[in-house]
């Protein structure tokens, strides 16, 4: 009996040894967080970044072949008036595969919304997905003075809110969020799915009044982490009380992401809301709960030293617009569009 057992064991070993010798170590699972963060950081640190385009420059470009223009506004507002040749693709459906497939990979794409906030978030995500996108500065508000078309407008704060010059630092480090948005190992599909999940759920913004209420309600459990993505020298001139400074182009670097508590709400702000919007979109695709401060520091204070940049309707152009349904509209039903101020 013992001889039979040994014989069986010998046969098993003869079968297993070649398998074990030829086996290769399993490849580590792909980190979806790293894939998204790498794409975001590459976009933010492109040697020739084009974050925004003015209405004047867009009009000049349209006299030639022109860029591919996308209105992210609600369909009823799009039909009231839109930039000529623009198609209507609200952000809530834009990142579906069938709609991304409509976009050109070989030419500039200009998304626009009402005031520049949603268009900025869309721009960041399109670039992460491999497109060449540039946000229209101030959205439709910066294209026409017709308030039936540009039905959301910037207004200076009626009351200046407090600021400080004390520099605040992040000293703790945290585990990075676990991102698992798809079973696919394709990097582009990981990024697209993360963008689609965030855009479908609804882009996140907060008003200056609501932020003030959060940080003055006496409940420290409600206090968000506030990040200024402005330049260090502008942060030093004055910032929202308690805010820390992480420059815009550094927001997706791992050494900075490790300083963010994934369990906290994060409020991001910049000068006028556009860079803060882009940073907000990036953080949400990485698993953070981030919201953009509408109008940035210009919506918080009128102090010309702290908030030197702001929308000026007197110098804004008044260009022609088209009306009606346009040539191309999304076939996927959507109530999206128009989440910005």
Q: Taking 50 as the threshold, does the pLDDT of residue 144 lie above it?
A: yes
> How many domains is the chain partitioned into structurally?
1
CATH number at residue 52: 3.40.250.10
pLDDT band of 30, cuts 50, 70, 90:
confident
Q: Would you say residue 37 lies in a domain?
A: yes
Q: Would you say residue 124 lies in a domain?
A: yes
pLDDT at site 15: 52
Which domain covers residue 85, as residue numbers?
32-142
Q: Would you say residue 230 lies in a domain?
A: no
Q: Would you say residue 223 lies in a domain?
A: no
Q: Would you say residue 111 lies in a domain?
A: yes
Query: pLDDT tens-digit profile of 311-323?
Result: 999 999 999 999 9
Q: For residues 119-154, b (16+ Cβ closer than 10 Å) or e, as one string? A: bbbbbbbbbbbebbbbbbbbbbbbbbeeeebbebeb
DSSP 66: -
Q: Would you say residue 48 lies in a domain?
A: yes
Mean pLDDT over all residues of the chain? Answer: 90
The most distant pair of C-alpha atoms in the chain lies apart, rounded to whole Å, by: 100
C-alpha distances in Å from residue 287, one per residue of 32, 55, 180, 230: 10, 34, 9, 22
Q: Would you say residue 10 lies in a domain?
A: no
DSSP lists the bridge partners of residue 164 as 239
pLDDT band of 77, cuts 50, 70, 90:
very high
3-state SS, residue 70: strand
Q: Would you say residue 178 lies in a domain?
A: no
pLDDT at site 17: 47
Q: What is the pTM of this model?
A: 0.88
């Amino acid at each position: 009996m013992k001889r039979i057992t040994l014989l069986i064991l010998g046969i098993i070993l003869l079968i297993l040894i070649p398998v074990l010798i030829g086996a290769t170590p399993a490849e580590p699972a792909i980190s979806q967080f790293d894939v998204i963060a790498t794409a975001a950081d590459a976009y933010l640190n492109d040697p020739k970044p084009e974050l925004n385009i003015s209405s004047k420059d867009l009009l000049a470009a349209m006299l030639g072949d022109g860029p591919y223009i996308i209105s992210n506004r609600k369909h009823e507002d799009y039909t009231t008036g839109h930039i000529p040749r623009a198609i209507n693709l609200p952000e809530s459906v834009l990142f579906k595969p069938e709609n991304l497939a409509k976009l050109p990979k070989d030419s500039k794409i200009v998304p626009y919304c009402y005031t520049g906030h949603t268009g900025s978030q869309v721009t960041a995500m399109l670039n992460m997905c491999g497109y060449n996108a540039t946000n229209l500065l101030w959205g439709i508000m910066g294209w026409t003075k017709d308030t039936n078309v540009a039905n959301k407008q910037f207004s200076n704060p009626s009351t200046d809110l407090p600021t400080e010059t004390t520099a605040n630092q992040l000293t703790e480090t945290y585990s990075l969020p676990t991102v698992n948005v798809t079973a696919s190992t394709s990097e582009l599909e990981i990024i697209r799915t993360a963008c689609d999940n965030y855009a479908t759920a609804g882009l996140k913004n907060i008003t200056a009044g609501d932020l003030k209420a959060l940080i003055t309600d006496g409940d420290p459990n409600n206090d968000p982490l506030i990040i200024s993505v402005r330049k260090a020298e502008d942060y030093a001139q004055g910032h929202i009380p308690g805010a820390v400074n992480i420059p815009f182009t550094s927001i997706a670097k791992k050494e900075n992401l490790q300083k963010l508590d994934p369990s906290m709400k994060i409020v991001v702000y910049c000068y006028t809301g556009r860079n803060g919007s882009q940073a907000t979109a990036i953080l949400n695709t990485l698993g953070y709960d981030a919201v953009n401060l509408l109008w940035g520091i210009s919506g918080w204070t009128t102090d010309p030293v702290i908030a030197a940049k702001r929308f000026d309707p007197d110098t804004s152009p008044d260009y022609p617009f088209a009306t009606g349904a346009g040539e191309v509209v999304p076939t996927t039903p959507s109530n999206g569009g128009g989440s910005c101020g």
